[in-house]
Amino acid sequence: MSLYLEHFGLREPPFRITPHTDFFFTGANRGPTLEALVYAITQDEGIVKVTGEVGSGKTMLCRMLLERLPDNVETLYLANPSLSRQEILGAIADELGIPTDGKATHSLTRALQDALIERYAAGKRVVMLIDEAHAMPAESLEEIRLLSNLESKATKLLQIALFAQPELDERLAANDMRQLRERITQHFSLAPLKPDDVASYIEFRLRAAGYHGPNPFTAAAVKLIAEISEGLSRRINILADKALLAAYSHGSHQVDSGEIRIAAQDARFSPLHQKSGFNVKPLLWGLAGIGIATLLFALAFNLGSRSVPPPLAEAPSATTNTLPAPPAKTLQPRTLSGSQAESPSNIRFGPLTRQHFDQYDEWLKKAPRQHYFIQLLATDATHTGEIEGFLARAAPLLDPSQLRAYRSSLSGSDRVGIIYGDFPNREAAAAAMQALPESIKAAQPFPRQVSRLR
């Protein structure tokens, strides 16, 4: 529903529930988890498992992983885990371009191994990502274990990553699953967002959708969203979207507790844990007001005759904007030097920005590919005031010689990133990140490898 976009000055809906990697939130340990996943899949030799509640962001993380894996990694994505053992083999064979021709299971497995050996000899790794793995039949889980045994003399030929609800852990705890359980070498868990993270998440999604005004969600509204959603990002999206629509229907540019109650009544979420301390049922059924469906009917009836209030003006300067910047793009950037900073979009960057463009160019010539840096900020290249303001604020707090800016062009989007430091490994970068000033941490920094810039 995009009725409120012009009303709030948005470029696109900020709270869609369909995973969109431009809206990946790196806070609440999501960014470091992604980095660790990339490392585990490209360096490890066991099965990787990611668990989280319904709506916690597993599919978004999986999509981000597909973007972040290096070019020499070939990915197989299995979205329907309820396939039988033979169907899984057939799906993998189809992805690898192997004709099945009615092959028996052992013949098909041999053909898969030959194809994987051929790719390994060509310097490629093959990774299979399985979404909703908790729904896999027992025989299919056993096939996953057998597939993890495919190997050359030196390494595994197929890396497997399972994305699942916590029910998978319960299944793996069974005695007959111990062989598969022991092959899982890396475990990751997506916990629900904490109340402070919910506030940052909402503001980040608004910024990523092109919003530049003061935060329309009051502190009371954010607190209520955190309680009702129980920290699940999908529920947060649903509540925030419905609340924006409710505010629009009232002609308001502010979302307060009343709009959240309307949204909650319409959503009617069930408690995540029936025995948890927080019970949302009394809140949901005791809410005053009308549902979103009624609002939509009223809007459709009156849309032609109703005058829509003008959208909010942009914030007067980047230094007064409290919304955090979106996370760094994770595909390889097209870097421009300081002398090229005016083209191709005729954007006029400030003197600090141009200086740090040049520092980036000099640094990248010598920086080892295996080294790490800290991604501090990434934003649209047209936000020149935000970029210049961030550099001006960061310079007194950090070593200015270690601050660098680069420009990238991805999917037609012209963006600028600000990075900091040069570290020999990820652990050193993570330790330095923890020592950053709190005002810098508010932008949700995370470590990245230099190889991702080339």
Q: What residue spans define the domains of the chain?
A: 5-19+193-302, 30-190, 325-453
Report, as an integer, the average pLDDT of 425-432: 88
Least confident interval from 215-219, 238-242, 261-265, 441-445: 441-445
**pLDDT above 80: residue 214:** yes
pLDDT given at position 441: 79
pLDDT given at position 316: 36
- Contact between 359 and 247 under an 8 Å Cβ cutoff? The reply is no
- φ, ψ at 315 (rounded to 5°): -60, 145
Q: Can you tell me the distance from the alpha carbon of 90 to that of 112, in angstroms, rounded to the nearest whole number?
A: 10
**pLDDT above 80: residue 307:** no
Question: Do 325-453 and 30-190 fall under one CATH topology?
Answer: no
Report, as an integer, the average pLDDT of 360-367: 93
Q: What is the CATH number assigned to the segment(s) 5-19+193-302?
A: 1.10.8
Q: What is the CATH number assigned to the segment(s) 325-453?
A: 3.30.70.1070
Helix (H, G, I), strand (E, B) or coil at 86: helix
Which residue in this structure is represented by tokens 């608004």? 206
pLDDT given at position 94: 86
pLDDT given at position 252: 92
Residue 443 or residue 341, greater confidence: 443
| The most confident of 116-120, 153-157, 283-287, 402-406, by mean pLDDT | 402-406
- What's the pLDDT tens digit per position in 39-94? 888 876 679 999 999 999 999 999 899 888 888 899 988 887 788 888 888 888 88
Report, as an integer, the average pLDDT of 300-322: 38
Q: Can you tell me the distance from the alpha carbon of 319 to that of 53, in angstroms, rounded to the nearest whole number?
A: 37
- Average per-residue pLDDT for the chain: 80
Please report, rounded to a whole number, the percentage of residues in the chain having pLDDT higher than 90: 36
- What's the pLDDT tens digit per position in 83-136? 888 888 888 888 888 887 777 778 888 888 899 999 888 988 899 999 889 988
Report, as an integer, the average pLDDT of 423-448: 84
Report, as an integer, the average pLDDT of 9-15: 92
Q: Can you tell me the distance from the alpha carbon of 164 to that of 109, in angstroms, rounded to the nearest whole number?
A: 25
Dig out the tokens for 84 from the structure.
Answer: 């039988």
Cα separations in angstroms, 129 against 80, 101, 217, 432, 439: 11, 25, 37, 32, 37
**pLDDT above 80: residue 357:** yes
Residue 413 or residue 298, greater confidence: 413
Per the rule left: phi > 0, alpha: psi between -120 and 50, beta: everything else, 231 is left
- φ, ψ at 283 (rounded to 5°): -65, -45
pLDDT range class, residue 274, cuts 50, 70, 90: low
Q: Could you count the other beta carbons within 10 Å of the beta carbon of residue 135? A: 15
DSSP H or E stretch at residue 42:
helix 30-43
pTM for the full predicted model: 0.61
Name the CATH architecture for the domain at 30-190.
Answer: 3-Layer(aba) Sandwich (3.40)
